[in-house]
Structure 1
Amino acid sequence: MTSNAYKLRCSIPGHEMDVRGLASAVFPDGAFVSVSRDRTGRVWVPNSSPDNGFTEMHSLSGHSNFVSCVCIITPSETYPRGLIATGGNDNNICVFTLDQSQPLFTLTGHKSTVCTLSSGKFGTLLSGSWDTTAKVWLNEKCMMTLQGHTAAVWAVVILPEQGLMLSGSADKTIKLWKAGRCEKTYEGHEDCVRGLAVISNTEFFSCSNDTSIRRWLVTGECVQVYYSHTNYIYSLAVFPNSQDFISTGEDRTLRIWRQGECTQTIRLPAQSVWCCCVLPNGDIAIGASDGIIRVFTPVEDRMASPEDLQAFEDELSKTTIDPKTGDLGDIKIEDLPGREHLNEPGNRDGQTRLIKDGQKVEAYQWSVSDDRWMKIGDVVGGSNQQTSKSVVYEGKEYDYVFTIDVNEGGPSMKLPYNLSEDPWLTAHNFLQKNDLSPMFLDQVANFIIENTKGHVVGPAPPAGGDPFTGGARYIPGASDDRPGFGGDPFTGSGRYIPGSGPTPSAPAGVADPFTGGGAYSSAAFRQTATNIYFPKTDGVTFEQANSSQIMAKIKELNGDAPQEHRLTEELLESLERLLVSVSEPNSSKSPPTIQEINLLWKAAHWPEGTNI
């Protein structure tokens, strides 16, 4: 029996970190594939038992870092069940058969994270990357590289018409490609383009951080704009009728669109709803930042038991919502009514209403199918729970505005940051805005994380370390000891609520991007939490470096070193000549001599306690 409204079918807690991609598999029937920041992919098949759940068929491993995206390569004579392609933060694409846990082969060539994949006819694979390019692959080879975007390529799709491809980028544009050439650029979104979905040979959808979804003709016209989300929109999936679709985003919601209208809003107990896919039977699979996959169905016989539905609602009601995230739209807490306001029915599905209950502010959502208001969380900051002070920068309020010193003696740069944002994306955008080398990404992001420790939204985060920072994140409604969930460098979201330490920090500071330490305190870098970066016992290579900045830092450290270990001016000049010769590829200087190598060795071995 089918109802109009979708309800929870099952929750699948198989991943240990954010679920970043989902794809419906060709085989077995009803199966789908998920990928996660826990570096794995997993193949799920429907249970034969009456609980309407899914069982993990096997786990896919092969990436050395977070797995960002997944797609199914269409079946062929060689692989009649199709193949699974996954992209990751290790810059690689791994291709699997559906029955093997190790990659059949690995595609290399991108210079940064592969964050989007799409497959076409004859085994063609299209990938997009933070390196600002898209690549076309066939028979394990890169056939062409599509260059033209000026920022990360976050979305790609192959259109049914042979030879046409689309790419969406953080540069706010969408490009149409044919035979490796850009045939058209679509402009209209006011922020990063995050997702693309094919409607037909002649139409497609796009979604963006600007909270809008657009419907485009391939010829270039935007024929409709859809508004309902209140925060970044991350993913889209189209139903088989090629008209209705679903969307997910940073406002904690899955939204179902029919005939151009948002007909149902389902909120989840997780901040970021990263990805979605439509299963062959019409059910919807959703991946979120709490590491849980949730499947929703319109078929009553497949819906979860009343007890499980109530448990899901209870978990949702216990979440905390920061009004700064914009998840509830613009709100004026001082004007909120009391609980009696819930006696009035809502006007549409998904409508939100805030009420005061003593010193608390609670959020409710109207459910048309249940004909009632459902609690979706407590609003922090609506009472005396708010502890941070806002800093105004360029007309906007932020939790922090850091001062970043990049060049010794050069001008400082401002880095605004809100606790609801992802420090990795903030760092990425800061470097891009100020035309700085991407080699500083880790240092700037880790500076943000270290200097916002102790400032969290909601209860203290659970135990467990983030693989980059050693920090943890809050899991709404969680009370167990599962590992914490980390942030993502390119999301435009609030993935991290960093750190579990008690040390507060002032809402302003100065970072040194070369070391990650605070220029305001030379000791700050030594006091950072132990993580995978330090101590470093093996060599680290860089594709590019700024020799003048490196020498400035070496001279600073040399001045702080004990007298007996300081390098003379003559040795510093020799070291500078050596550095210039190896950092400038066009330099005609001969390879370093053994004396120069010994000098470098001495410079790299100041005694313990020196700020290196």
Structure 2
Amino acid sequence: MEPTLDNYALSCELLGHSMDVRTVAAGPSSAEGQAILSGSRDKSVKLWKPIGNEYVESLTMQDHKNFISYICFLPAEQWICTASNDATICIYKKDGYVPILTLKGHGSTVCTLAAALKPRSLISGSWDMTARVWSVDESGNVSSVELKGHEAAVWAVATLVTQQKYVTGGADKSIYYWNEKGEKLRLLKGHTDCVRGLLSLPGNMLLSCGNDAVIRYWNDDGECVRQLSGHTNYIYGMAANIALSEHVVVSCGEDSSLRMWNVITGQQLGAPILHPAISVWSVTCLTNGDIVTGCSDGVIRVFSQVPERQASEGVRKAFTLAVSARAADMNQEIGGIKKTELPGPEALLTNGTREGQTKMIRQPDGAVKCYSWELGQWNLVGDIVGASGGTQTSSGKKLFEGKEYDFVFDVDISDTEPPIKLPYNRGEDPWHVAQSFIHRNGLPQAYLDQVANFIVKNSEGSTIVATSTSSGYQDPFTGGSRYVPGSSNTTVQSGANVDPFTGSSSYSTRASDGGNSAAQSRVNVSFVRGNDKPFPVNSYRTFDTCDAAKVLEKMKEFNNKLSISDGKVSDEVLNTVVKLAEPTPEVNLEALEALVLLLKWPSNMLFPVLDILRLAVRHEAIFSMLQNGHNIMKIILPQLSGAAANQLMVLRCLANVLTHNTGRQQIETQLPEIIDLVMGIRAGSVNLQIAVATFYLNATISQTLGVTKPAVCHVVTTGIVELLKWASDLEACYRSMQSIGNLTTTPCGQETIAQVVSVDYVMDKLRDLTNTPQSENFAKVNILGQALLASF
């Protein structure tokens, strides 16, 4: 009797990864059974060992710097091989905690692996459009042969042992055969979209699958003798279930399904098993016939046809209900957000809380549109488009030139030319991406800042810039990898600090929260080619991101060193205060009183408290209560003459306070005093330089958006010039020049600048910057400086 997927039922669910499980593989065997390997976007690899009918997490490996894309187990060597978005391959011995080897050579994401023809060797495929055959000798020396010929990312590799050949499949829709020397032997054409998976079968047969939702069966002569159709979206992977038959294969994909096939007859064996997740990223089969899947919901699932290994009726029923609920939710969601939870047009009657804030609005006809708060009114940005179906344009996954991206924007450069594709991944530096975009499309260099800000705005909540991820970094205030008062040298926005590309413990600054980040990636917006004037800059820069858990840990550490007379409080009080760091905190009088109490701590213990304060004062109501009730400005301003950590946090407070009307009014009344204190800072870290520059930039933005005051222009210009005398960081200098440029757009600002800043001074500063270690990023500062010179 032919096996069928109808006989399979859920055996167990393995929970442990915090993000998508991108890859699963059959692991080493023991007397208890065969282990399971899994890799995730959370950058970890886990080994799950069988205990009876369950699996327990026995080992976690976290040596990659970015998400795990593929796992391969080599039984003869007992090697666990892992591939990653960080362009490396790590090799572990079974039960080893650290890699015995790290293979480097690919120029981009390594997305697939397989055992090679010889012992101690493997083949890999990469987004860099190449495959490599790696060999490791007994002494640990590594050599590789490059397979070069694809015109796009190499998504799949396989080894044909009996033919002594390799096979690769790529985003160029092509399949190539190679010999051991790396010479191209054969080209197979047939797929109409990216080839995502390859599987070698007995008799030199080959299976391929891809984004065209078709599995192709190729014979020894390179002819496609059969197509297996049934999936309704991208097919990500296949696995042979040898325990059932050498002709039985399972597959998985973007249609949330696991399917079983007889590749000889082309028949689908039984009904597909649907999952309560959008993407079933990976599938593997164990020697006992059980099937394992890894999904976008972070869960590993094991299915078995043996009744004794199947889950209880209650667990299986819960799984079925979860599948049904997911199917129902998908019909009511757009970009992962339920339409029924979105506000209607009446929400546009309420003013925005900050420049650049966005709202998704449900229309009476069921459509969803995005609006942005700009210059005192809600402006339509575009339609929000959902993700469903089996094509690249309608799938939940974004591809550009065969590579996956979190966002692929359609950028309209003019009314007479078609949109240009702008790909972007979470964690990339928007300015680096913008520079590549400009070079690729032959656009003027003057567009750099505008394109970068376009990326920041339309991927809000997702862009992260981490300038130092080295494990050897030692902070001068706290040391090690513990909580530090700022770890990024930019104020480009960060997400929830759990991004798969940059890591869960990053601590960076960001621009203001725009709300519905999931939907922003699907907004159809325009970039106006002719609008290349860099001034005025009128979007406030804010410092929003905070790892509250680490801040709380540091506060507890300091609190435990204090006596009651020195200001020691209970942990409950600390927990209350930390809640003020939330994006929309409750206006809790007890929490505010406790915060003021903590601000009386010794100066060397103050920076985590100031870190909470700079988040709390973003909210106008909280700042107003703190200022009116406790004169918070009087409390914090003396710290500008204190320790560098406290200076940093106070400057971030001041920058955030300038984003609302009450804060601007208060700072303006004390501006000469504040700038006098700021000008006393003549050296500092990159973070400190950027904090000073951002304070000045926000101060000038308030002048361009309101009534310009000569006294304010003069004192701010003087402060900016003093900063430029010692600042060395390009981003700080860039924001300083943006500040001067802002003032040139105001009548009294032009007169003031003419008195304080000279053309020669700006030229000298630009010349100095070209000699900095960051000179590879000099372009955007240089372009802005030239525009500034033209405005004098």
TM-score interval, smaller chain: 0.5 to 0.7
The residue number in structure 2 matching 1:276 is 283
1:577 Cα offset (Å): 11
The residue number in structure 2 matching 1:33 is 37
Match of 2:190 among 168, 188, 194: 188
Asked if the contact 1:155–1:169 (Cα under 8 Å) also holds between the matched residues in 2, the reply is: yes
Match of 1:42 among 39, 46, 69: 46
Paired letter, 1:32: I
Asked if the contact 1:518–1:525 (Cα under 8 Å) also holds between the matched residues in 2, the reply is: no
TM-score of the pair, normalised by structure 2: 0.50
- Is 1:87–2:83 an aligned residue pair? yes
RMSD between superposed Cα atoms in Å: 5.2
The residue number in structure 1 matching 2:93 is 97
- Give the structure with higher Rg (CA): 2
1:253 Cα offset (Å): 0.7
1 CA distance for matches of 2:297 and 2:278? Answer: 8
The 1:108/1:284 distance shift into structure 2, 3 A limit, reads same
The residue number in structure 1 matching 2:238 is 236
The residue number in structure 2 matching 1:130 is 127
1:485 Cα offset (Å): 8.0
1:186 Cα offset (Å): 1.1
The one-character-per-residue Cα deviations of 1:289-346 (angstroms, maximum 9, x if unpaired) are: 01000000111111100010111112112214546999xxxxxxxxxxxxxxxxxxxx
- Is 1:168–2:169 an aligned residue pair? yes
1:214 Cα offset (Å): 0.6
2 CA distance for matches of 1:147 and 1:278? Answer: 31
The 1:169/1:278 distance shift into structure 2, 3 A limit, reads same
Alignment of 1:407-486 (within 5 A): 413-415=419-421, 435=440, 447-450=457-460, 470-471=494-495
SS in structure 1 opposite 2:221?
coil
Asked if the contact 2:158–2:200 (Cα under 8 Å) also holds between the matched residues in 1, the reply is: yes
The one-character-per-residue Cα deviations of 1:146-192 (angstroms, maximum 9, x if unpaired) are: 11111111111112136411111111111111120111111111111
1:243 Cα offset (Å): 1.4
1:45 Cα offset (Å): 1.3
Name which of structure 1's ranges 161-170 and 271-280 shifts more when overlaid on structure 2. 161-170
- Is 1:387–2:361 an aligned residue pair? no
1:386 Cα offset (Å): 5.0
Richer in helix (by share): 2
Match of 2:268 among 262, 287, 290: 262
The one-character-per-residue Cα deviations of 1:199-221 (angstroms, maximum 9, x if unpaired) are: 12521111111111111124321
Asked if the contact 2:256–2:275 (Cα under 8 Å) also holds between the matched residues in 1, the reply is: yes
The 1:306/1:260 distance shift into structure 2, 3 A limit, reads same
Alignment of 1:532-547 (within 5 A): 537=687
1 CA distance for matches of 2:172 and 2:60? Answer: 35
Alignment of 1:582-597 (within 5 A): none
TM-score of the pair, normalised by structure 1: 0.64
Alignment of 1:278-293 (within 5 A): 278-293=285-300
Alignment of 1:340-419 (within 5 A): 387-388=368-369, 389=383, 404=411, 413-415=419-421
2 CA distance for matches of 1:138 and 1:568? Answer: 60
2 CA distance for matches of 1:521 and 1:168? Answer: 49
Paired letter, 1:509: V
Asked if the contact 1:130–1:153 (Cα under 8 Å) also holds between the matched residues in 2, the reply is: yes
Asked if the contact 2:252–2:280 (Cα under 8 Å) also holds between the matched residues in 1, the reply is: yes
Asked if the contact 1:509–1:518 (Cα under 8 Å) also holds between the matched residues in 2, the reply is: no
2 CA distance for matches of 1:252 and 1:433? Answer: 37
The residue number in structure 1 matching 2:204 is 202
The residue number in structure 2 matching 1:560 is 741
The one-character-per-residue Cα deviations of 1:69-110 (angstroms, maximum 9, x if unpaired) are: 10012314xxxxx10000111111100011111111111111
Asked if the contact 2:170–2:196 (Cα under 8 Å) also holds between the matched residues in 1, the reply is: yes
The 1:105/1:61 distance shift into structure 2, 3 A limit, reads same
Asked if the contact 2:537–2:738 (Cα under 8 Å) also holds between the matched residues in 1, the reply is: no
Asked if the contact 2:18–2:298 (Cα under 8 Å) also holds between the matched residues in 1, the reply is: yes
2 CA distance for matches of 1:33 and 1:310? Answer: 26
2 CA distance for matches of 1:197 and 1:433? Answer: 39
The 1:254/1:398 distance shift into structure 2, 3 A limit, reads closer
1:507 Cα offset (Å): 3.9
1:446 Cα offset (Å): 5.4
Paired letter, 1:166: V
- Is 1:318–2:325 an aligned residue pair? yes
Asked if the contact 1:117–1:156 (Cα under 8 Å) also holds between the matched residues in 2, the reply is: yes
SS in structure 2 opposite 1:85?
strand
SS in structure 1 opposite 2:268?
strand
Asked if the contact 1:512–1:519 (Cα under 8 Å) also holds between the matched residues in 2, the reply is: no
The 1:282/1:402 distance shift into structure 2, 3 A limit, reads closer
The 1:207/1:402 distance shift into structure 2, 3 A limit, reads closer
The residue number in structure 2 matching 1:8 is 10
Match of 2:525 among 506, 509, 526: 509
2 CA distance for matches of 1:451 and 1:136? Answer: 39
Name which of structure 1's ranges 443-452 and 27-36 shifts more when overlaid on structure 2. 443-452
1:452 Cα offset (Å): 10
2 CA distance for matches of 1:211 and 1:558? Answer: 53
2 CA distance for matches of 1:60 and 1:12? Answer: 17
The 1:444/1:423 distance shift into structure 2, 3 A limit, reads farther
The residue number in structure 2 matching 1:307 is 314
Query: Where does the alignment leave 5 or more consecutive residues of structure 2 unmatched?
Result: 335-339, 341-361, 370-382, 387-392, 397-406, 443-447, 464-491, 503-512, 548-651, 653-684, 690-730, 744-752
Paired letter, 1:66: F
Paired letter, 2:161: P
SS in structure 2 opposite 1:196?
strand
2 CA distance for matches of 1:246 and 1:204? Answer: 14
SS in structure 2 opposite 1:236?
strand
Asked if the contact 1:450–1:528 (Cα under 8 Å) also holds between the matched residues in 2, the reply is: no
Alignment of 1:210-221 (within 5 A): 210-221=212-223
The residue number in structure 2 matching 1:21 is 23
The residue number in structure 2 matching 1:67 is 68
Asked if the contact 1:74–1:123 (Cα under 8 Å) also holds between the matched residues in 2, the reply is: no
1 CA distance for matches of 2:499 and 2:178? Answer: 37
Asked if the contact 2:536–2:741 (Cα under 8 Å) also holds between the matched residues in 1, the reply is: no
Paired letter, 2:58: M
Query: Where does the alignment leave 5 or more consecutive residues of structure 1 unmatched?
Result: 77-81, 327-358, 360-380, 454-467, 473-482, 489-498, 540-549, 580-591
2 CA distance for matches of 1:445 and 1:602? Answer: 15
The 1:290/1:451 distance shift into structure 2, 3 A limit, reads closer
The one-character-per-residue Cα deviations of 1:429-454 (angstroms, maximum 9, x if unpaired) are: x98999469xx99988655422999x
1:281 Cα offset (Å): 0.4
The residue number in structure 2 matching 1:378 is none
SS in structure 2 opposite 1:25?
strand
The 1:501/1:282 distance shift into structure 2, 3 A limit, reads same
The residue number in structure 1 matching 2:103 is 107
The residue number in structure 1 matching 2:629 is none
The one-character-per-residue Cα deviations of 1:37-65 (angstroms, maximum 9, x if unpaired) are: 111111111113xxx22111211121111
Paired letter, 2:76: P
Equivalent pairs counted in the alignment come to 471
* Percent of pairs with identical residues: 31
2 CA distance for matches of 1:44 and 1:203? Answer: 32
